Amino acid sequence: MKVTVDQDRCCGSGQCVLTAPAVFDQSEDDGLVRLLDPTPGPADHAAVRLATALCPGGAITLPDQPDQPAPTTA
């Protein structure tokens, strides 16, 4: 699994950090997502998929997961 984040789309809600803290963090300066592990292991895959689905800004993408829903614009 490969994970990418788009900080321009991030709204700083922190859902990713709460859902997959081994993979995501938030910057203390602006609250935006920081990707800790761009290729998480199988133990984190379910949490990363959930974090992707919960992200209100659609800032998280899984480029190697074709069945991922397209991000919505707010």
Location of structure tokens 């789309």: 9
Start-to-end CA span in the chain (Å): 26
Local confidence band at 64 (pLDDT 50, 70, 90 cut-offs): confident
Q: Give pLDDT, residue 65.
A: 76
Mean pLDDT along residues 46-66: 93
Neighbours of 36 (CB within 10 A): 14
Cα–Cα distance, 58 to 56 (Å, whole number): 6
Cα–Cα distance, 65 to 46 (Å, whole number): 12
